């Protein structure tokens, strides 16, 4: 992407480039320690609450995948930055109405956690031929049902529902490690759930796990997608 005239030149002094390089280095170290290749890993930079200009700087530094968790904000940024050809991952909780709108700009929806949200991606009479998106079933690894994600015992039924839409390509499972407890143990549980999902849909091999503070543990437990925000972007502005 170097020299692309659509992209701004990056101010080296802002530290973004250094932080991105440092995270990439630490991901590579984790892959090496786990005997895995970095080529198996997709880095999704979480840009929620940050301005579109930051996403443009990240693209100039070679970032191809970004994650957003609020519909209105994601929609506006994706429209403003359409020239960059980025892959937009939706990682936040959705309601069915927002989901129907998100499918117009998102490429990947990582937060499929309820039948009503899954069904919102299915064809309707008004939209018989919607875009096909990649999807992850989000699993709740905590005991708190208020957190995002379907309970582990509900995963199989939701997977069947995703497959039935015909408009979601199931890529695998996604989770956030609980705040209390060992992230590695939580990611090991997610890996076991991923094995079960693959017995239903052999193509659903991906595991989205690992954030700024626990990406090494996630890589050790087979993550294919890392969702990293603050370690790269710096402190997030407050939620708008």
Ligand X SMILES: *Cc1c(COP(=O)(O)O)cnc(C)c1O
* Residue 122 binds ligand X, judged by CB under 6 A: no
Burial 75-97 (b: 16+ CB within 10 A, else e): bebbeebeebebebbbbbbbeee
Q: Whole-number minimum distance, CB 124 to ligand X, in Å?
A: 27
* Residue 159 binds ligand X, judged by CB under 6 A: no
* Residue 227 binds ligand X, judged by CB under 6 A: yes
- Contact region for ligand X (CB under 6 A) — 20-28, 118-126, 151-159, 222-230? 222-230
Among 16, 27, 46, 159, binds ligand X (CB under 6 A): 46
Among 84, 91, 197, 218, binds ligand X (CB under 6 A): 91
Question: DSSP class of residue 139?
Answer: B
The Cα 4–Cα 192 span in angstroms is 43
Q: Please tell me the count of residues contacting ligand X according to CB under 6 A.
A: 12
Q: Which is nearer to ligand X, 56 or 89 (CB)?
A: 89
For residue 64, count other CB atoms closer than 10 A to its CB.
15
- Contact region for ligand X (CB under 6 A) — 19-27, 71-79, 189-197, 228-236? 228-236
Burial of 154 (0-12, 13-18, 19+ CB in 10 A): middle
Question: DSSP class of residue 12?
Answer: G
Burial 105-137 (b: 16+ CB within 10 A, else e): bbbbbbbbbbeebbbbbbeeeeeeebeebbbbb
Q: Which is nearer to ligand X, 140 or 165 (CB)?
A: 140
Among 184, 200, 211, 234, binds ligand X (CB under 6 A): 211
Q: Which residue is nearest to ligand X (CB)?
A: 229
What residues contact 11, with CB distance under 8 A and at least 6 apart?
none
Among 193, 209, 218, 228, binds ligand X (CB under 6 A): 228
Q: Which is nearer to ligand X, 28 or 49 (CB)?
A: 49
Among 176, 190, 207, 219, binds ligand X (CB under 6 A): 176
* Residue 212 binds ligand X, judged by CB under 6 A: yes
Q: Whole-number minimum distance, CB 127 to ligand X, in Å?
A: 27
Which SS3 state, helix, strand or coil, does residue 24 take? helix
End-to-end CA distance of the chain: 31
Q: What mask, x for binding ligand X by CB under 6 A, covers residues 51 to 70?
A: ------------------x-
* Residue 230 binds ligand X, judged by CB under 6 A: yes
Asked if 23 contacts 211 with a C-beta cutoff of 8 angstroms, the reply is no
Residues that bind ligand X (CB under 6 A): 46, 48, 69, 91, 176, 211-212, 227-231
């Amino acid at each position: 992407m170097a020299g692309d005239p659509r992209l701004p030149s990056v101010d080296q002094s802002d530290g973004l480039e250094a932080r991105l390089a440092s995270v990439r280095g630490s991901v590579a170290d984790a892959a090496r320690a786990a005997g895995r290749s970095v080529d198996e890993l997709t880095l999704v930079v979480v840009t929620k609450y940050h301005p579109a200009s930051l996403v443009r700087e990240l693209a100039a530094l070679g970032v191809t995948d970004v994650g957003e968790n609020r519909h209105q904000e994601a929609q506006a940024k994706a429209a403003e930055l359409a020239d960059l050809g980025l892959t937009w991952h939706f990682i936040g909780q959705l309601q069915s109405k927002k989901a129907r709108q998100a499918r117009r700009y998102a490429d990947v929806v990582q937060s499929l956690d309820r039948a009503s949200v899954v069904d919102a991606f299915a064809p309707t009479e008004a939209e018989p031929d919607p875009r096909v998106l990649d999807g992850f079933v989000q699993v709740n690894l905590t005991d708190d049902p208020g957190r995002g994600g379907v309970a582990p015992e509900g995963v199989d039924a939701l997977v069947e529902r995703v497959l039935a839409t015909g408009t979601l390509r199931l890529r695998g499972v996604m989770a956030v490690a609980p705040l209390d407890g060992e992230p590695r143990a939580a990611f090991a549980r997610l890996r076991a759930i991923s094995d079960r999902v693959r017995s239903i849909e052999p193509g659903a091999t991906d595991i989205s796990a690992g954030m700024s503070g626990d990406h090494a543990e996630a890589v050790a437990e087979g993550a294919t997608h890392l969702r990293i925000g603050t370690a790269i972007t710096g402190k997030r502005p407050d939620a708008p």
